[in-house]
């Protein structure tokens, strides 16, 4: 039995083992140093945006990078401070101070660890993508607006940053430090333009190096610098929990940080899967690693960290092979802290603001909105509402609003009823194909159908088709019954076609008495009803109606498949079956367009090969399938209750010369072994046709070299189950698609006993 708790020691040992081998070490060293060049300026900038000292960002990158690399579940990911967290962390610092932030980070880490242990990492994928995209864009917008004062070297706003900054743009422009603005723009241009021409270059490092060099070389005095950073790591210690008097709001904030950090991490891990080398991440292990990392970061006085796609993508592009690269990146940052902190202290703050402006612009990707608009316009609604809610309220409220709207749209779609209405050419029959669900939401749709029906004066019958309807509740059933009763007052009879057992039951309950409709299961029943009412039954209209449904639904959804098949076919199987209308191979095999090359005739017959006097089309189809289409799999499928077999066994005189000659092929086969009943005749005939197929030289040649597979199946028209001939066991056995399900095994055993009662 699968444990509720996650603990994969084998996974952990295998990952550590790969780090202790020399293989790929040079690649990891290069990648680690490259990532460090990117991580240092990013960590400083994100710390600044988070409302803490820039050096705190370096501490977080060091501790988080090492711990998450050892214990995490994403091999090539790099952990550190994330721009997406900056806004929430800044609010936390402003409300609870640095000590409160450390407690929040500690709680966040504990929760992540527990969620990983409890196997809850997979639930992060339940958040709609449009909400995630808008969430990222909203944070990017807030960061962009929030960094404008720093880029202009002006005091930060004291009120709501977004509203206050936007409202004072004119004032900021007149009071800004021009040189600071130039440094911010230069940094922004470098970080955006350089990767286009030099993809592997550490653009963030170069972007902050240029303004720093200008400050040092030209001795520019009126530019704010990073200032003093820690020259070493302090010893770890627990946060001072005694400083917190009101725990309720702090716990709520910790939950927000936990949710955001976990979501950001798991999304980053999914992105690493997409751009990496096929190593899929382990979400539960990743949460455990991130939890331990955040606990460690809190003990060392850092800000909460996440898996970061910006650093991870650089890591992969630089050729990282194992987790060592992330550890090496942290060691490189430690070296900077210990050996050359003065270089970091000389970085201009406007340059770091430029780094954040660039990150914010990347987070606000307009291409995502365009994609949503092209694929599903409702996603744009979710995106816009989430985005506006985030920038006008706060992050969590924005996400809640987005998820609510997303689920509302899903609910409306699930509850909606769709109808395809076609009037027959005789103007007396209307067919309505229902799809979706019949619920309380269906009232308006049923009203529109009713209004459409009553406008046709000569209408005699309305046929509601239920084969495409997924579900029906009691309210939807009541609405339908009321609609049917209104329709009948106009002298129009109603047929409900292909009701499921559950739908029939719900409708009978909703009737509260006499049923105002006729129930049919087969098309022949509809034909009899219409002809008895002296109304022409139009098979052509029925086919046109089916084609319209095909074009409106399947052909639209499968346009790419149809376009591809228009260039040529490549079916995987030649299927030879009977012409019986009850046998539909594409239906019972769930085979789509282009999968089966089908030959159908009376009795699924394959005439023996004759070199000089072969007059049948079956031989041409067989050779075309093998030679031209390259098919290596042939299935001959007979069926129970076969009229051709019954006619051959009964021995009654057949007047049609063509049919009599054709059935003689089956009778000739029975000369070898005479069946005692029709079912045994189906089996004997099927095996005889397999023997006939083997008389074709091309088939015999491929069988000899094991390049062709021939299967013999019997389709049971009563149960829709299929028997397959087993050469090794010399009997037919029921084909089972779910051997692990005990119920299916039991049914198969009973079915095999029943169908093999007449032995071969």
Angle at 136 between CA 306 and CA 226, to 5 degrees: 60
Q: According to the per-residue pLDDT averaged within each range, which of 144-153, 546-555, 611-620, 677-686 is highest?
A: 677-686
Task: Choose one of 521, 550, 579: the last residue of a domain.
Answer: 550
Shared domain for 332 and 390, answered yes or no, is no
What is the pLDDT at residue 156? Answer: 64
| Closest CA relative to residue 153, chosen from 69, 215, 238 | 215
Shared domain for 30 and 144, answered yes or no, is yes
In a domain, 276, yes or no: yes
Q: Is the pLDDT reported for residue 740 higher than 60?
A: no
CA atoms of 198 and 598, how far apart (whole Å):
56
Mean of pLDDT values over 517-525: 93
Task: Choose one of 339, 364, 389: the last residue of a domain.
Answer: 364
Under 8 Å CB-to-CB from 15, ≥6 apart: which residues?
75, 323
Shared domain for 224 and 309, answered yes or no, is yes
Shared domain for 520 and 384, answered yes or no, is no
CA atoms of 146 and 152, how far apart (whole Å):
11
Q: According to the per-residue pLDDT averaged within each range, which of 273-282, 480-489, 645-654 is highest?
A: 480-489
What is the pLDDT at residue 760? Answer: 55
What is the pLDDT at residue 172? Answer: 66
Task: Choose one of 303, 335, 364: the last residue of a domain.
Answer: 364
Shared domain for 342 and 206, answered yes or no, is yes
CATH number where 672 lies: 3.40.1050.10
| Closest CA relative to residue 92, chosen from 112, 78, 106 | 106
Shared domain for 533 and 582, answered yes or no, is no
In a domain, 423, yes or no: yes
Four-CA torsion 600, 602, 608, 611, nearest 10 degrees: -70
What is the pLDDT at residue 739? Answer: 43
3-class secondary structure per residue, 145-203 = HHHHHHHCCCCCCCCCHHHHHHHCHHHHHHHCCHHHHHHHHHHHHHHHHHHHHCCCCCH
In a domain, 511, yes or no: yes
Handedness of CA 106, 112, 113, 115 (dihedral sign): positive
**Poorest-confidence range of 60-74, 222-236, 524-538?**
222-236
Shared domain for 592 and 495, answered yes or no, is no
CATH number where 444 lies: 3.30.750.24
Q: Would you state the structure tokens that stand for residue 639, as one six-digit string?
A: 């069926």
Shared domain for 437 and 580, answered yes or no, is no
What is the pLDDT at residue 743? Answer: 42
Q: Quickly state the pLDDT bin for 707 (edges 50, 70, 90).
A: very high
CA 759 from centre of chain? 48
CA atoms of 204 and 341, how far apart (whole Å):
18
In a domain, 351, yes or no: yes
Q: Which ranges of 348-421 would DSSP assign to H, the alpha helix?
A: 349-363, 366-375, 377-392, 395-415
Q: Is the pLDDT reported for residue 741 higher than 70?
A: no
Shared domain for 488 and 636, answered yes or no, is no
CA atoms of 381 and 131, how far apart (whole Å):
10
Mean of pLDDT values over 721-736: 89
Mean of pLDDT values over 398-427: 86
What is the pLDDT at residue 625? Answer: 96
Determine what percent of the chain is predicted with pLDDT higher than 70: 92
Q: Would you state the structure tokens that stand for residue 97, as one six-digit string?
A: 């101070």
Q: Is the pLDDT reported for residue 706 higher than 60?
A: yes
What is the pLDDT at residue 13? Answer: 79
In a domain, 372, yes or no: no
Q: Is the pLDDT reported for residue 459 higher than 90?
A: yes
Angle at 73 between CA 68 and CA 78, to 5 degrees: 45
What is the pLDDT at residue 415? Answer: 82
Q: Is the pLDDT reported for residue 278 higher than 70?
A: no
In a domain, 3, yes or no: no
What is the pLDDT at residue 410? Answer: 82
> Could you tell me how many residues make up the chain?
760
Mean of pLDDT values over 425-453: 91
CA atoms of 304 and 108, how far apart (whole Å):
8
Mean of pLDDT values over 146-163: 71
Type and span of the H or E element at 108: helix 83-117
| Closest CA relative to residue 322, chosen from 558, 135, 498, 77 | 77
90 against 142, higher pLDDT: 90
DSSP state of 319: T
Angle at 731 between CA 725 and CA 736, to 5 degrees: 60
Q: Would you state the structure tokens that stand for residue 611, as one six-digit string?
A: 């070199």
Count how many domains the chain has: 4
What is the pLDDT at residue 273? Answer: 78
Q: According to the per-residue pLDDT averaged within each range, which of 280-284, 437-441, 547-551 is highest?
A: 437-441
Q: Would you state the structure tokens that stand for residue 484, as one six-digit string?
A: 């049917």
The angle that helices 283-299 and 83-117 make with each other, rounded to 10 degrees, is: 120
In a domain, 471, yes or no: yes
DSSP 222-268: SS-B-----SSPPPP----GGG-S-HHHHHHHHHHHHHHHHHHHHHH
DSSP state of 553: I
Shared domain for 619 and 728, answered yes or no, is yes
Handedness of CA 70, 74, 78, 84 (dihedral sign): negative
What are φ and ψ of residue 437, in 5° steps? -140, 150
| Closest CA relative to residue 600, chosen from 657, 570, 541, 642 | 642
- Max CA distance (Å), the chain: 113
Q: Is the pLDDT reported for residue 157 higher than 80?
A: no
Instruction: Note down the domain range covering 632.
Output: 570-755
* Direct distance between the N- and C-terminal alpha carbons of the chain, in angstroms, rounded to an integer: 43
273 against 695, higher pLDDT: 695
Q: Quickly state the pLDDT bin for 4 (edges 50, 70, 90).
A: low
CA atoms of 136 and 31, how far apart (whole Å):
27
What is the pLDDT at residue 167? Answer: 64
CA atoms of 663 and 655, how far apart (whole Å):
12
Q: Which ranges of 300-365 would DSSP assign to H, the alpha helix?
A: 309-317, 324-339, 341-345, 349-363
In a domain, 559, yes or no: no
Shared domain for 346 and 389, answered yes or no, is no
Mean pLDDT score across all residues of the chain: 87
757 against 684, higher pLDDT: 684
Evaluate whether 147 touches 310 at the Cβ level (below 8 Å).
no
Q: Quickly state the pLDDT bin for 602 (edges 50, 70, 90).
A: very high
Q: Is the pLDDT reported for residue 727 higher than 60?
A: yes
Evaluate whether 130 touches 379 at the Cβ level (below 8 Å).
yes
Mean of pLDDT values over 244-273: 86
pLDDT tens by residue, 662-687: 999 999 999 888 899 999 999 999 99
| Closest CA relative to residue 663, chosen from 650, 673, 676 | 650
Q: Which ranges of 455-573 would DSSP assign to H, the alpha helix?
A: 474-488, 501-511, 523-532, 539-549, 555-557, 559-565
Shared domain for 423 and 528, answered yes or no, is yes
**Poorest-confidence range of 201-210, 388-397, 460-469?**
388-397
Evaluate whether 561 touches 584 at the Cβ level (below 8 Å).
no
What is the pLDDT at residue 505? Answer: 92
Q: Would you state the structure tokens that stand for residue 107, as one six-digit string?
A: 């709680």
What is the pLDDT at residue 738? Answer: 47
DSSP state of 348: B
């Amino acid at each position: 039995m699968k444990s509720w708790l996650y603990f994969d020691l084998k996974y952990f040992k295998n990952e550590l083992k790969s780090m202790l081998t020399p293989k790929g070490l040079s690649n990891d060293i290069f990648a680690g140093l490259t990532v460090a060049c990117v991580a240092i300026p990013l960590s400083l900038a994100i710390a600044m945006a988070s409302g803490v000292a820039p050096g705190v960002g370096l501490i977080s990158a060091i501790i988080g990078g090492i711990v998450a690399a050892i214990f995490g579940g994403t091999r090539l990911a790099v952990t550190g401070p994330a721009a997406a967290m900056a806004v929430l962390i800044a609010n936390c610092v402003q409300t609870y101070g640095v000590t409160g932030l450390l407690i929040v980070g500690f709680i966040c880490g504990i929760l992540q660890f527990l969620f990983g242990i409890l196997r809850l990492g997979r639930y992060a994928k339940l958040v709609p993508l449009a909400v995630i995209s808008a969430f990222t864009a909203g944070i990017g917008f807030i960061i962009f607006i929030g960094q404008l004062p720093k880029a202009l070297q002006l005091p930060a706003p004291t009120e709501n940053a977004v509203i206050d900054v936007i409202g004072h743009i004119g004032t900021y422009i007149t009071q800004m430090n021009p040189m600071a603005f130039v440094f911010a723009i230069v940094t922004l241009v470098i970080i955006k333009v350089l990767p286009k021409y030099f993809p592997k270059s550490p653009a963030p490092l170069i972007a902050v190096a240029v303004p720093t060099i200008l400050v040092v070389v030209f001795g520019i005095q009126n530019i704010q610098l990073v200032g003093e950073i820690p020259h070493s790591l302090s010893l770890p210690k627990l946060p001072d929990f005694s400083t917190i008097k009101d725990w309720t709001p702090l716990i709520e904030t910790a939950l927000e940080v936990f949710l955001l950090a976990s979501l950001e991490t798991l999304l980053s891990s999914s992105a690493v899967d997409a751009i990496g080398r096929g190593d899929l991440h382990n979400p539960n292990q990743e949460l455990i690693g991130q939890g331990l990392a955040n606990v460690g970061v809190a003990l060392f006085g850092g800000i909460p960290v996440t898996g970061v796609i910006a650093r991870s993508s650089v890591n992969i592009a630089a050729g990282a092979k194992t987790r060592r690269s992330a550890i090496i990146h942290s060691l490189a940052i430690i070296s900077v802290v210990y050996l050359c902190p003065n270089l970091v202290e000389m970085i201009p703050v406007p340059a770091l603001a430029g780094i954040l402006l660039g990150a914010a612009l990347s987070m606000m990707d307009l291409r995502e909105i365009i994609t949503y608009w092209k694929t599903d316009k409702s996603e744009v609604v979710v995106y816009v509402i989430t985005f506006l809610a985030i920038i006008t309220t706060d992050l969590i409220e924005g996400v809640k609003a987005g998820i609510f709207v997303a689920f509302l749209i899903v609910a409306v779609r699930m509850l909606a009823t769709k109808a395809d209405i076609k009037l027959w050419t005789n103007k007396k029959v209307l067919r309505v194909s229902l799809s979706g669900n019949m619920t309380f939401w269906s009232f308006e749709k049923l009203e529109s159908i009713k209004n459409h029906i009553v406008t046709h004066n000569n209408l005699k019958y309305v046929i509601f088709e239920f084969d495409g309807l997924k579900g029906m509740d009691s309210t939807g059933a009541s609405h339908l019954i009321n609609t049917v009763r209104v329709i009948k007052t106009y002298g129009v009879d109603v047929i409900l076609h292909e009701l499921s057992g559950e739908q029939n039951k719900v409708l009978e309950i909703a009737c509260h008495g006499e049923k105002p409709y006729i129930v049919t299961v087969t098309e022949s029943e509809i034909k009899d009803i219409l002809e008895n009412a002296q109304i022409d039954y139009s098979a052509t209209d029925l086919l046109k109606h089916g084609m319209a449904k095909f074009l409106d639904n399947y052909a639209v959804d499968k346009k790419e498949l149809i376009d591809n098949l228009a260039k040529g076919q490549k079916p995987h199987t030649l299927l030879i079956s009977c012409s019986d209308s009850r046998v539909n191979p594409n239906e019972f095999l769930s085979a789509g367009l282009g999968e089966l090359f089908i030959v159908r005739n009376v009795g699924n017959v394959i005439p023996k090969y004759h070199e000089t006097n072969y007059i049948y089309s079956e031989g041409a189809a067989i050779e075309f399938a093998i030679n031209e289409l390259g098919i290596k799999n042939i299935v001959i499928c007979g069926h129970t209750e076969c009229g051709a077999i019954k006619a051959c066994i009964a021995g009654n005189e057949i007047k049609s010369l063509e049919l009599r000659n054709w059935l003689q092929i089956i009778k000739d086969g029975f000369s070898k072994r005479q069946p005692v009943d029709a079912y045994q005749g189906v089996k004997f005939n099927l095996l005889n046709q397999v023997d006939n197929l083997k008389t074709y030289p091309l088939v015999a040649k491929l069988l000899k070299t094991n390049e062709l597979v021939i299967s013999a199946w019997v389709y049971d028209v009563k149960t829709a189950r299929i028997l397959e001939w087993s050469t090794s066991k010399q009997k037919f056995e029921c084909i089972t698609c779910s051997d692990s399900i005990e119920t299916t095994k039991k049914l198969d055993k009973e079915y095999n006993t029943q169908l093999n009662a007449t032995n071969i």
